[in-house]
Amino acid sequence: MPSRPLALTAELIARAHPDSVADDEAALAVMSDAELAPGLTRAITARAAKSAALWVFAYGSLMWSPEFAVAEQRIGRVHGWHRRFCLLQRRFRGTPEKPGVVLALERGGSCRGVAYRLDGLDRHATLMPVWRREMKGRGYEGRWVEVATEDGPVTALTFVVNRASDRYTGRLDEAAIADLIAAGCGHLGPSAEYLFHTVAACAEHGIHDPHLWRLQALVADRLKA
């Protein structure tokens, strides 16, 4: 990560979005555990090595807010996918009128992130918290990917964009993405805060993603205007 400081700061975000936003459950209907369970079962069944350790590959908010117990973590790279802001948030970090946008994995290129090993004898119970968090809004697809790490490759569950979802933006240019991030704010906070924490987490792990670095500067310019 470049040594120069981030243009986007927590103080700038707080000044631009001083007011709280009420949750609007109608903005995005989320799936229940009963609805989510069959998909998780299929994902677990598709994992051929049943005795192997369970890994999850994080590239966005899971890097700074994993919400699961971590037995081990490794910095790694996934080939064939890259991180991209391409998933609208009409709830949580946006509204229907001013949707935010969050990260997903898109086809092509590569992505550095963090592989987390999860402990648990019951695979369904161990993975359900992260499956619920990522899959309940119908914006992602769960996929097993190989993650190259310094200590050898691991196979990890990750979440790629669901291109059939009405939340998928397609490939917007960075100026359009920055417009959405700067304006979006939901009951969990501003979309810009999500970007800020993700860039900070990448810096902490020694990961430099030019897409994120350019976006934080573009969003900062918009919040200052």
> What pLDDT score does 121 carry?
84
**Which amino acid is it at 60?**
G
> What pLDDT score does 65 carry?
94
Q: Does some domain include residue 189? A: no
Give yes or no for residue 161 having a pLDDT over 90.
yes
For the chain, what percent of residues have pLDDT higher than 70?
97
User: 67 is in which domain, residue-wise?
Assistant: 21-172
Task: Give buried/exposed letters for 29-54 (b at 16+ CB in 10 A, else e).
Answer: eeeeeeebeeebeebbeeeeeeeeeb
Residues sharing a CB contact under 8 Å with residue 172, sequence separation 6 or more, in sequence order: 85, 86, 180
What pLDDT band is residue 48 in, cutting at 50, 70 and 90? low
Looking at the structure of the chain, the number of domains it has is: 1
Mean pLDDT across 147-170: 97
Mean pLDDT across 29-55: 89
CB 199 within 8 A of CB 212: yes
Q: Give CA–CA dist 78/89, Å, rounded.
A: 25
- Of the candidates 177, 205, 207, the one whose C-alpha atom is nearest the C-alpha of residue 192 is 177
Catalytic residue annotation: 134
Mean pLDDT across 189-208: 96
Over the chain, what is the mean pLDDT? Answer: 95
What pLDDT band is residue 34 in, cutting at 50, 70 and 90? very high
Q: Does some domain include residue 206? A: no
Sign of the CA dihedral running 203, 207, 212, 218: positive
Residues 98-121: tens digit of each pLDDT: 999 999 999 999 999 999 999 988
DSSP secondary structure code for residue 95 in this structure: -
Q: Does some domain include residue 4? A: no
Q: Does some domain include residue 14? A: no
Q: Does some domain include residue 225? A: no
DSSP secondary structure code for residue 166 in this structure: T
| Burial class for 201, CB neighbours closer than 10 Å (0-12, 13-18, 19+) | buried
What pLDDT band is residue 52 in, cutting at 50, 70 and 90? confident
* Residue written as token pair 């900062």: 220
On whether the pTM is more than 0.75, the answer is yes
Provide the CATH number for the domain around residue 40: 3.10.490.10
Give yes or no for residue 2 having a pLDDT over 60.
no
Q: Give CA–CA dist 85/168, Å, rounded.
A: 10
Q: Does some domain include residue 166? A: yes
Q: Which has more pLDDT, 53 or 84? A: 84
Q: Give CA–CA dist 215/7, Å, rounded.
A: 10
The pair of three-digit structure tokens given for residue 34, joined into one six-digit string: 């009963």
Give yes or no for residue 14 having a pLDDT over 50.
yes
Q: Does some domain include residue 45? A: yes
Q: Give CA–CA dist 132/138, Å, rounded.
A: 10
Give yes or no for residue 148 having a pLDDT over 80.
yes
- Of the candidates 32, 25, 43, the one whose C-alpha atom is nearest the C-alpha of residue 91 is 25
Q: Give CA–CA dist 82/67, Å, rounded.
A: 23
Q: Does some domain include residue 7? A: no
Residues sharing a CB contact under 8 Å with residue 62, sequence separation 6 or more, in sequence order: 56, 114, 116, 130, 134
